[in-house]
Amino acid sequence: MNMKALFSAAVLLALLSPCRSLVHAAEFPVIRWEGRTMGSPYTVQIVGTNLTSEQVDALKAEVEQQLKEVNRQMSHYQPDSELSQFNRAAAGKPFKVSPEFAHVVRFSLEMARRSDGAFDPTLAPVVNLWGFGEKTEQRAVPPEAELKAALAVTGWKHLSVTPDDELIKDIPGLTINLSAVAKGFGVDEMIKVLRGHGLTNVYASIAGEVRALGCNPRGTKWQVGISAPVAHWRENDPMAAVASLSNQALSTSGDYQKFFTDAQGRRLSHIIDPRTGWPIQNNIGGVSTVASDNMTADALATTLFVMGPVEGMKFVESWTNAAALFIVRAGEDQFQHLPSSRFSAMTGFNP
Ligand code: AMP
Ligand code: MG
């Protein structure tokens, strides 16, 4: 049976949007599943449909196939991904990639241009050197000469994309790392699959990248928690804030999950200043962004973390369809919440 026919019943029910039926006391039925992709957990929730277990299995297989496809294109863990092949390729020669990969690179280069290089998709050698890339077992301050050598083969201006979806590096050794944007794109691809079946009340996430459509099982907007960037962060710690989302994406970048502490007690995290090659050290613990798609929210959150609360706040205000909440350290596990002007209106956040 073809998948479209398979989901016709689901479509019909989903069209009767639960958001408009708040008189219901009971919760709407919800289908949930979890899995792993890109080294992280992912989740899906679908509300208000009566899919059979076979239909759910088919949908899950389709979502996972889509995620596999993103990994085949953009994973830096997979030696045979398009990205890994491009990373090994010679300079000066156009390298044909899939339209999706080209799209994410184009977007990343646009973010790099707009942020004056705060966002840089070519930091792979530096990220790897600090132990935040493929090999994560050795995290230490690298020797200065090695850092200099790694930095010399970075720079978004050395990367371009042709209208025919070909990537070109103009210096040997230039390599791509899309860790700051690919999870968000992956969530958008999951949503595309779900929406393609007419499902309108859904939630999809990969690690801290979340996108939600329509309503949750209670018939209201989806409630997504934002962690407090405490020194000894644990998965189920109390939330610093809650964002109410519908047809929006939320992304968080922070220094409280992937970091190590050096001999001087400095917290050195995975977000790198492209100018120095050093982990960013400003007073932001975490920054959460909201946008209509998750690729934008993801890249923007990383960019704002690099820019810091002052420059970052100015930058996000220049995006008319995005907003951010900066959580700034004001002492040991003490925080100041700095929302951009549109954040409360877009998320219901109450400062
Ligand atoms: P995120 O968790 O989305 O903020 O992405 C952080 C990841 O992106 C890091 O683990 C690095 O692999 C990579 N990265 C680090 N610094 C930058 C940067 N300035 N621009 C783009 N990607 C970065
Ligand atoms: Mg990001």
Is 240 within 8 Å of 254 (Cβ atoms)? no
Mutate which of 159, 260, 270 for ligand 1? The one with the most ligand atoms within 8 Å of its CB, which is 270
179 ligand 1 Cβ < 6 A: yes
Verdict on whether the full-model pTM lies above 0.85: yes
Mutate which of 130, 134, 179 for ligand 1? The one with the most ligand atoms within 8 Å of its CB, which is 179
Q: Along the 351 residues of the chain, how does pLDDT read in single tens digits?
A: 344 444 444 443 444 444 555 445 568 899 999 999 999 999 999 999 989 999 999 999 999 999 999 999 999 999 999 999 999 999 999 999 999 999 999 999 999 999 999 999 999 999 999 999 877 667 889 999 999 999 999 999 999 999 999 999 999 999 999 999 999 999 999 999 999 999 999 999 999 999 999 999 999 999 999 999 988 898 888 889 999 999 999 999 999 889 999 989 899 999 999 999 999 999 999 999 999 999 999 999 999 999 999 999 999 999 999 999 999 999 888 999 999 999 999 999 988
| Ligand 1 center from residue 183 Cα (angstroms) | 11
| Ligand 2 center from residue 339 Cα (angstroms) | 18
Mutate which of 302, 303, 307 for ligand 1? The one with the most ligand atoms within 8 Å of its CB, which is 302
| Ligand 2 center from residue 296 Cα (angstroms) | 9
182 ligand 1 Cβ < 6 A: no
| Ligand 1 center from residue 98 Cα (angstroms) | 22
